[in-house]
Structure 1
Amino acid sequence: MRRVSKIVSASIVTAALALSATACGESSTESSGSGDGKIKVGMAYDVGGRGDNSFNDSAARGLDKAKADLGVETKELTAKTGETPADREQRLVSLAEGGYNPVVGVGFAYKDALEKAAAKYPKTTFGLVDSVSEKPNVSSIVFTEEQGSYLAGVAAALKSKDGQIGFIGGVDIPLIKKFAAGFQQGVKDTKPDANVQIQYLSTGTDMSGFGAPDKGKAAAKGMLDKGIDVIYSAAGGSGAGAIEAVAAKPGAWAIGVDSDQAKDPALAKYAGSILTSVVKNVDTGVFELVKSVQDGKPMTGTHAYSLAENGVSLTTTGDHLKDIQAQLDEAKKKIVDGQIKVATTL
Structure 2
Amino acid sequence: MTLMQKFLTAAAATALSAGAALAEPGLIIDLGGKFDKSFNESAYTGAQRWVEETGGEYMETELASEAQREQTMRRMAERGANPVVVLGFANASTLEQVAPDYPDTDFVIVDAVVDQPNVQSIVFSEHEGSYLVGMMAAMASESGTVSFVGGMDVPLIRKFACGYAQGAKAVSDDIQVISNMTGTTPAAWNDPVKGGELARSQISQGSDVVFAAAGGTGVGVLQAAADEDALAIGVDSNQNHLHPGTMLTSMVKRVDNAVYDAFQAGEEIQPGVQVKGLEDEGVAVAMDEHNEELVTDEMQQRVDEARQQIASGEIQVHDYTEDDSCPALTF
Q: Normalized against structure 2, the TM-score is what?
A: 0.87
- Report % sequence identity: 40
**1:1-346 equivalent positions in 2, closer than 5 A:** 37=21, 39-81=23-65, 83-84=66-67, 87-203=68-184, 206-250=185-229, 252-263=230-241, 267=242, 270-293=243-266, 296-317=267-288, 318=290, 319=292, 320-323=294-297, 324-345=299-320, 346=326
Paired letter, 1:300: P
Q: Is the 8 A contact 1:42 1:101 kept in 2?
A: yes
**In structure 1, distance between residues paired with 2:259 and 2:90:** 17
* Coordinate RMSD, CA, aligned: 1.5
Which structure has the bigger radius of gyration?
Answer: 2
SS state of the match for residue 51, structure 1? coil
List per-residue Cα deviations over 1:134-191 (Å, max 9, x = no partner).
Answer: 1000010110000000001000000000211100110111111110110000000111
Moved over 3 A (4+): none
Q: Give the superposition deviation at 1:68.
A: 1.6
Stretches of structure 1 that go unaligned for 5 or more consecutive residues are 1-34
Between Structure 1 and Structure 2, which shows a larger proportion of helix residues?
Answer: 2
Q: Give the superposition deviation at 1:75.
A: 2.0
**In structure 2, distance between residues paired with 1:128 and 1:304:** 12
- In structure 2, the CA distance between the partners of 1:248 and 1:134, relative to structure 1 (3 Å rule), is same
Q: Give the superposition deviation at 1:77.
A: 1.2
Q: Is the 8 A contact 1:130 1:141 kept in 2?
A: yes
SS state of the match for residue 316, structure 1? coil
**In structure 1, distance between residues paired with 2:23 and 2:56:** 5
SS state of the match for residue 309, structure 2? helix
Q: Normalized against structure 1, the TM-score is what?
A: 0.84
Partner of 1:30: none
Stretches of structure 2 that go unaligned for 5 or more consecutive residues are 1-18, 321-325, 327-331
Partner of 1:9: none
**In structure 2, distance between residues paired with 1:231 and 1:38:** 47
State the aligned residue count. Answer: 299
Paired letter, 2:253: K
**In structure 2, distance between residues paired with 1:341 and 1:171:** 26
SS state of the match for residue 105, structure 2? coil
